[in-house]
Structures are given as C-alpha cells and as structure tokens.
Structure 1
Amino acid sequence: MSAAMKEMPVKLPKSFDRPDEPWHHYLTIDVIWYVLGYTLFHPFVSWVIVLCLRAQYTPYGNIEMRVAMAWATLMTSIGLFGLVSDRIAWGSPREVDLAEEVIVITGGAEGLGGLLADTYGMRNANIAVLDTKVVSEDEAEQKGVLYYQCDVSDAKQVEAAAAKIVQDLGAPTILINNAGILHTKSILDTSAEDVERTFRVNTLSHFTTIRTFLPYMLQEGRGTIVTVSSVLGHLGAANLSAYSASKAALLALHHSLRAELAQNPAAKDIRTILVQPGQMGTRMFAGLETPSNFLAPVVTPAEIGKDIIKLIERGESGEVALPLYSRYIQILGVLPVGVQSLVRSWSGVDGAVERMVEVRGEMGRKR
C-alpha cells in the first residue's frame, strides 16, 4: 500500500537549457539491451513466436519450429534460474507500507538524494533528510520533507538528529546512505585533510548512521539499508583517488553488513540494497564527458532513483547498477592485465577528470 499523492509545484527544465543532439545520440547499448529484454530475450515473447508458427501449421519437425522452441526453452530456463538465484541470494521480500515506514536520507538536499526525498515527500511518506545545507521552513513544508541540518561525518550530530527524528516521526526503518563529496586532485596534490574529509563523509558516515539507526530497525523487526557506492569503487581513476577509495570501502562494508545481518535472527526482515551507478548527470560531475555515449551513457538521478524506489517498496534486497556496463565491470578484473590496460586507455577514464577540470575552469572564466 502506498501513501496518497499530493500536488506539488515543480519547475520543468527548459528545452533550450539542453543542447540539441542528433537522434543517434540517444541510441545506447542500454536502450538496445532494454528492448531485447522485453522482446527477443523475454520468455513470454519467445513462446508467442512458437504459437505464431503453430498458427501457420508449421510442423514440429521443421527447422524454424525447432529453433523457436529451443530458444523459448532456453529463455524460460534462464528466467527461472534467475528467479531461483535471486531468492537464494536476497531471500523473500518483506511487507512495506509507506504509512508505517520512516525514511532517512543522508545528503538529501539535492542530487539523487534530493530526488528521492522529493518523490517520497509528494507521496506523504515520513521522510527525514540529513544534510549540511540549510533548507527554509517554507520549502520543507512545500515538499513535505523534514530537514535536519547535520554533518553526517560527525557522530554526535548524527545521534542528536536521530533523537529528533524519533521524536518527530518515529523509529527509522529505511536508511538511504547517499551523502558524498568529491575532490578532483592528484594523489600528490591531495592533502591529508582532503583524504580524511572525503572518507569521513563518504565512508565513515555509513558506519555512524548504521550504528545509529540499525538498532531501531532491529527493535521494529523490519528495515531497509541502502548503500550508494560507485562503479569507480571497482575501477579507480586518475585524480579521483580519495573518492574511488572511499567508494571501494563501501563495497566491502555492504557485504560485511549483509553477512552480519544474516547471522542475526532479529534481522530476518532487514533488507540491503547496493547502488553502483556509473557517471550520473548531477552537479558533482558537471563538465565530465563520458568516454563513449553508446557504451557508457550518462545516467540521470531519475533512472537510478526509480530502481532504488522499486526495490525499497517491494521489500527486496538487491543491487542497482546503471548503465549496463556497471553490472559487469567486475569482469574487467579477471581479464589479462594487458587487456585491462588497453581497455582503460581506450575508454579514456583516466583523462576524463583532467578534462572536466579544464571545462569547469573555462565555464568559470566565461561567467
């Protein structure tokens, strides 16, 4: 059951804010894979082809009928295997009623976190945002979101905010760890303070919020914890050493958390979601050009947010990885090191940040 939707004024982006692109700019491997998933690779569609051939009185012994039946059987087997694999990996879903859930989002004033907060606010959910940015009471009331000015890298501030949330909304049952910062510096130019600040916000804050809010979930007997990492946690990138390392640490944290929850009988209805996006079209990565718009398109917060919300409201554990390459990026690590070097060189991932800094500098001079 979902909460009732409320009206909320929004400002749609102007068409002239976006450059005109040719039609093939929007043709990506993700679009092709999506279409194939609902057509040629879908078990139902595969069996429809078999039925169409039988409607034409095609004999079972004909080659086209044999191929169609073999393909339909293969797609059905793969689909069933996927369902069984997911159930073994993630367990059965829990019941979710937004009216009875209290959602906490870190870094929810803008970007992906802001989109999630606004979406749940429009649905009259109990939503609390922890962010250093100050949001006016009028804006908060308009969005239907409670904002708590809080530096999530400070454990005492998080604990104080948690006490207020419990008093205002009740025990938190959904935690979306989204807060993050970015320093575009080389290792030699990165100070100890930069590294420490990055890890405190991007990594240590997850430990703090989990330690603070997980006891409430155990007490309520239900919950969902969302960990927002990055594909750079697998890849790393030049001039993003602190950011990449902090996101890589979150991968280990997520798997360790899952292992500990599996050993706790009181946590049988607590679900975990790992988010590993590629390049997102947010202010944090403004000016960063994707190496290949076809193979590595820029994903919008709406695309990532949609999948996060779907898993949360289904009460399921799982992983959100967009675009397509981010689902299989771990395969790169098992390839010969020479192939890995060629892929990195061809992709341009290690020169992207330097170009982004140059673009931002040019934009700043134009202003």
Structure 2
Amino acid sequence: MTLSQPTNVPENDNISKKLVKITKDTFDFGILFIRVFHELLIWTIQKLLPIDLKDVSKDIVLITGTGHGIGRELALQYAELGSKVICIDINEKSNKETVDKVNSIRKGSAYFYICDVTNRDAVLQLADKIKNEVGYVTILINNAGIMPSHPINQHTEKEIRKVFEINILSHFWTVEAFFPHFIQAGRGHLVSMSSLAGLVGLSNLVPYCATKFAVRGMMEALSEEIREGPLKGKINFTTICPYMTNTGLCKKPKVKFPSILGLLDPKEVASAVIYSQRANKVEVTIPSGLHPFSNFCRVIPLKCSILLKDFIDSGVESDLS
C-alpha cells in the first residue's frame, strides 16, 4: 500500500499571494510618495510666484455682523473692489450706518437687511428674498459673533446657549440657506471667522473657544464633503483665525508684548480676510506667523507649549471683575 506524500501547494499559494500583496502595497506607496513630492514641489514654486487674486467685481457678497467692527470694514472694502454687498445684522441702526457708508463709496452697491442669524426659518426666508431682490450670493462671510469672557462657573445656561447659537449654529443655517445660491450660480466661496481662540484654549473663554474650534471643524469637514461630491472645484472654503482685534468684542484684553502682539486694527483684519478669500487660502491666522507657531506648539511636549503660552501671557481678563 502506497501512502500519498503531503503537498506544500496551499502554503506556497499563500506565500505567493502575500508577496503579490506586498509588491502591490509597495508600488502604491511609491506612487503616493511621488504624488506628495510633486504637490510639495508645486506648493514651493507657488510660494515663490506672485499670487493671482480673484476678481470679485462681479460677486454678490453677503456678510453677517456688519453693524460694526470687522463686518463693517469688510463691507466697505468689498464695495471698493466693485462687489455688491449684502449687509446683515440684528441691529438696525448700526447696520443702516454701514450701508450708508458703503453707498457713499459706490452708490447702490450695498443692500440692507435685518436678520437674527440664530433663527433658522428667518435665514431661509432671507435667502429667498435676497435671490429675488438682488441675485445669487456667491461669497458668504460668516462674521457675526459674541465673546462673553469670564470663568465657566460664572456663565449662565442662557449665555452659553447664546454663544453657541450665534458663533456656530448660525453658520449651519447660512450654509443651508445660501449653498443653493452657489449651486445656481455655478460657483461660491464660504469664509468663516474662527479665532486664535479656535487654535488655543484660553482662560475665561471656554464657551467661546469651544465654538471657534467648532467653526474650524465644520469648515474642514464641509470642505471634505464637497471635495468628494459633484461640486468639487466649484466651492472654495477659507477659515480665518484672527488675534484679538480692537472692535470692542474683547472687553478686557491682556497683552504682555503690545509692540509685537498688540490689538489688531479692524481695517487691517478685513483687508487680510479679503486677500485670503481672493487668494483661495484654506486656513489663515492674522498675523500669518501665528499659524506655524500654533502647529509647532501642538507637536512639542505639552509642558514646553505651556511654558511658551505662559511666557506670551496674552488673553482676556474676566469681564465681570
């Protein structure tokens, strides 16, 4: 009787399959490396070349929170560039002042609307009204915000809810209302105001920081969702993270080095916002050098970043003291 010899064919097949998979994965990684290197090369070259800024003279720009500060300056500067500007604020008197100033620069370039951006139904109705009276919005700037600054245990429930409703939930309502405008126009640009407090946690600003971190998360996720869909390349996103600005929003700013990191001028911030939008920047800090510094602080040991933060010692004091 002859006994059959054990075969190694199945084992050899497994080894072959593993080798094929390893070879394929290595090849895919190599392709990825080449593509990443190619993009880094393009990025480096672009850094050395002058930036071709987009023309906004044919755009309809909607800005929330135009009653004062950065929102007002944005309205004025976009009008100077030839844009039609839609000014949205809940304060009728101050918003009317902004519109009058804008129209004194270019008559008929600014449009006046009163809206509580925390009211979803009101925002949706406003979008239809603007479409009929002005046209399709092609640049949307979510600028409205509030900044109560005191310890978390001194915030009321109502106050916390209000911070979230204005600083982040209103962004969802404006996106829902005006993205159909982008689709109809065949293009669009969403600009959202975050903050340096959306990059770094600060005392006396827990709810505010939470909303500004949320703005960045929303913008990144929304950009990714659009990139994977049929609107890829038609809608751009820019997130702005300014340092403390002299608009009255910071009631009691704390600045250790005013000659280096003093309060920003609203005109300069507005100018930087418009430049970033026209240059299709994705996320910028104002001043621009704070962005790499923030990233650096995220990769070094925590105690080192705390030492740097304590040395800079900038933020806000409690507005209740």
Q: CA deviation at 1:346?
A: 2.2
Secondary structure at 1:321's aligned position in 2? strand
2-structure distance, mates of 1:231, 1:201: 18
| TM-score normalised per structure 1 | 0.68
1:148 maps to amino acid? Y
1-structure distance, mates of 2:151, 2:145: 19
Residue of structure 1 equivalent to 2:287: 323
Decide whether aligned partners of structure 1 residues 203 and 83 sit closer, same or farther in structure 2, where only a CA change above 3 A counts.
farther
| TM-score normalised per structure 2 | 0.77
In the alignment, is the contact (CA less than 8 A) between 1:237 and 1:244 conserved in 2?
A: yes
Number of aligned residue pairs? 273
**1:146 to 2:111 alignment:** yes
1:143 maps to amino acid? V
Residue of structure 2 equivalent to 1:130: 88
Residue of structure 2 equivalent to 1:156: 121
**1:266 to 2:227 alignment:** no
5 Å matches for 1:344-363?
344-349=309-314, 352-354=316-318, 358=321
Residue of structure 1 equivalent to 2:44: 82
2-structure distance, mates of 1:289, 1:318: 29
In the alignment, is the contact (CA less than 8 A) between 1:105 and 1:128 conserved in 2?
A: yes
Q: CA deviation at 1:269?
A: 2.0
Q: CA deviation at 1:83?
A: 3.9
**1:119 to 2:119 alignment:** no
Residue of structure 2 equivalent to 1:98: 57
Q: CA deviation at 1:221?
A: 1.1
CA displacement, residues 63-114 of structure 1 (integer Å, 9 cap, x when unaligned): xxxxxxxxxxxxxxx9964345899xxxx98964423x21110111111111
Please identify the structure whose Cα radius of gyration is greater: 2
2-structure distance, mates of 1:138, 1:283: 17
1:237 maps to amino acid? L
Decide whether aligned partners of structure 1 residues 171 and 156 sit closer, same or farther in structure 2, where only a CA change above 3 A counts.
same
In the alignment, is the contact (CA less than 8 A) between 1:102 and 1:126 conserved in 2?
A: yes
**1:220 to 2:185 alignment:** yes
Residue of structure 1 equivalent to 2:301: 336
Residue of structure 2 equivalent to 1:231: 196
CA displacement, residues 234-259 of structure 1 (integer Å, 9 cap, x when unaligned): 21111111111100001101100110
1-structure distance, mates of 2:137, 2:205: 33
Secondary structure at 2:258's aligned position in 1? coil
Cα RMSD for the two superposed structures: 2.7
Decide whether aligned partners of structure 1 residues 213 and 342 sit closer, same or farther in structure 2, where only a CA change above 3 A counts.
same
Decide whether aligned partners of structure 1 residues 268 and 324 sit closer, same or farther in structure 2, where only a CA change above 3 A counts.
closer
Secondary structure at 1:259's aligned position in 2? helix
Residue of structure 1 equivalent to 2:13: none
Residue of structure 2 equivalent to 1:108: 66
Residue of structure 1 equivalent to 2:271: 306
1:310 maps to amino acid? Y
Deviating beyond 6 angstroms after TM superposition, the runs of 4 or more aligned structure 1 residues are none
Decide whether aligned partners of structure 1 residues 317 and 93 sit closer, same or farther in structure 2, where only a CA change above 3 A counts.
farther
2-structure distance, mates of 1:130, 1:182: 19
2-structure distance, mates of 1:198, 1:322: 22
2-structure distance, mates of 1:147, 1:261: 30
Secondary structure at 1:130's aligned position in 2? strand
Q: CA deviation at 1:142?
A: 4.8
2:283 maps to amino acid? E
1-structure distance, mates of 2:67, 2:174: 17
Q: CA deviation at 1:294?
A: 4.3
Which runs of 5 or more structure 2 residues have no equivalent in the other structure?
A: 1-39, 104-109
Which runs of 5 or more structure 1 residues have no equivalent in the other structure?
A: 1-77, 359-367
Secondary structure at 1:275's aligned position in 2? strand
Identity of aligned residues (%): 25
2:121 maps to amino acid? K
CA displacement, residues 253-291 of structure 1 (integer Å, 9 cap, x when unaligned): 110011011112234221111101111121111441322
Which of 182, 200, 209 pairs up with 2:174?
A: 209
Decide whether aligned partners of structure 1 residues 85 and 313 sit closer, same or farther in structure 2, where only a CA change above 3 A counts.
closer
